[in-house]
A and B are shown apart, each in its own frame.
Chain A
Amino acid sequence: MKQINRRRFMKFTGLSLGIGTLYRVIPALGADSALGGFLADMRRSNGESMSPFTFIQLSDSHVGFNGPPNPTGTAAFERAVEVINGLPQTPELVLFTGDLTHDSEDKDVHAARMAQFRKIAGGIKAPKLRFVPGEHDAGLDGGILFRENFGETHYSFDHRGIHFVGLDNVSRAKPEVGPEQLGWLRNDLARFPRTTPIVVFTHRPLFDLKPDWEWFTSDGDDVMNTLAPYENVTVLYGHIHRDHELDDGHIHHYAARSLIFAFPDPAVAPEKKPLPFDKEHPFKNLGLRTVADGGPKTKPQHALAVNNVELTLREYGGVNGIQQLLRKPSF
């Protein structure tokens, strides 16, 4: 690899769209010979080099749920599809981090809900949709219905130089990944150099966010240890129906909002109870929200600025020393 002296940046900017999160991956240096060398290395090791693209995370649509916390059913989910389809730049990839459906004891009813989910999700004009299950999709049947619809509950793929890993921490009924999947993950990652950008997407948080509320994964530490040698790891998850960010010093964890109802902040709420439905603002606290982002004069618009996240792939000093940072830009 060629020697370079300046800091090199490669950015993922993430916009919390309200409907989920839009991530924009930008090699910031354009056609630079040193960057070109890095990208060539990436292509060799990873099969694909990085290039700009956007992707979106959606979560917890709970198709089939209907109750006081949200009597509008799939309205927010359908609105999210409209918003995505109206974006100036079509995302190349949409990741769904579980609880696509609400479960039912009746297998036929659950299957019909899954079919309805597919119908709505199928309206998204993105070339690639990828899914992992939540406990409401796969907790009762060990993932049978999910597999019938989407294939394996854990898998990986490469997209423009990023290695995406879908993990299943729900279908063993308990909040765990399990030893088989951990073994699979080790093998899956073994062929990559430690600088490869990795995005893990899963349903539950992989750390103890609020064990009392079942916001954890029992063997999440084992997953983290498996990912530890890799320098550029981001974890996207759902399950908690609210925003959350954690930088554990090495790996960055981001939760997406739900498309059905929101949970309160566990630090202040005495119990895990959905926030009440607001008739005047049916998408409040959901993935779909309207905000003003430029001061009082700005007309509210579909949130393109709240919780902006920037995932920066920065600095390589000739020894694949690329590090990735996720941070909030100051504005």
Chain B
Amino acid sequence: MDKNRITLFLQFCVALLAVACLVPPRTAGAQDPPRVVEISAKRFGFTPNQVTLKNGETVTLRLTSEDVTHGFFARPLKIDQEIEPGRTTELTVTPQAAGVYTVICHHFCGVNHGNMRMVITVTE
């Protein structure tokens, strides 16, 4: 191994050490950004129309609308949100109980508004 290579190797080791010191150890979950779930609304449905979350897991719902203002509402999950077109609405949710929850659009958006809904399944 020539001198240059050894120097390079040592520099690499120092760099690695520096990085290791700078980045705190990743403890389970605490520092992880919440999982992001993207949901888009369009008259008269949501895509996807079924999402599975884990009980107690904090997730970010990233909501968008492709057309008009919609609503995003589920009383048991404490979700009561409007989704305006042209911007992204973020919502943090931590389900507190397993179950199957219906989310409805509760901002009147047209003739089939009453059928605009999706399901969030929360598993143990």
Contacts and interface: CB of A to CB of B under 8 A. Distances in A.
A265 interface: no
Nearest to B116: A214
A212 B100 CA distance: 12
B122 interface: no
A121 B74 CA distance: 37
Contacts of B69: 173
A236 interface: no
Most chain A C-beta atoms within 10 Å of own C-beta, residue among B73, B108, B110, B117: B108
Contact of A105 (B73, B75, B102, B110): B110
Nearest to B76: A211
Interface in B97-124: 102, 104, 106-108, 110-111, 113-115, 117
Interface string A117-149: 000000000000000000100011000000000
A216 B73 CA distance: 12
Contacts of B115: 272
Given A175-B106, A218-B80, A211 B75 contact: yes
Most chain B C-beta atoms within 10 Å of own C-beta, residue among A103, A104, A212, A272: A212
Contacts of B114: 214, 272
A174 interface: yes
Given A140-B108, A214-B104, A218-B80, A174 B71 contact: yes
A221 interface: no
B108 A135 contact: yes
Interface residues of A, number: 19
17 contacts: A103-B110, A103-B111, A105-B111, A135-B108, A173-B69, A174-B71, A174-B82, A174-B108, A211-B73, A211-B75, A212-B74, A212-B75, A212-B102, A212-B104, A213-B104, A218-B80, A272-B115
A104 B104 contact: no
A208 interface: yes
B75 A135 contact: no
Contacts of B111: 102-105
A233 B75 CA distance: 27
Interface in A199-228: 208, 211-214, 216, 218
A170 interface: yes
Contacts of B107: 173-174
B77 to A, nearest CB: 11
A174 B107 CA distance: 5
A140 B110 contact: yes
A187 to B, nearest CB: 27
Nearest to A273: B115
User: What 4 A-B pairs have minimum CB-CB distances, sorted nearest first?
Assistant: A139-B108, A211-B75, A212-B102, A135-B108
A135 B104 contact: no
Contacts of B106: 174-175, 214
A211 B75 CA distance: 7
Interface in A258-298: 272
A173 B69 CA distance: 10
A208 B108 contact: no
Given A211-B75, A212-B102, A272-B114, A170 B108 contact: yes
A151 to B, nearest CB: 21
Nearest to A138: B108
Interface in A172-199: 173-175
Nearest to A218: B80
A139 B108 CA distance: 6
A208 B71 contact: no
A173 B104 contact: no
Most chain A C-beta atoms within 10 Å of own C-beta, residue among B69, B80, B82, B114: B114
A172 to B, nearest CB: 9
A268 to B, nearest CB: 16
Nearest to A216: B75
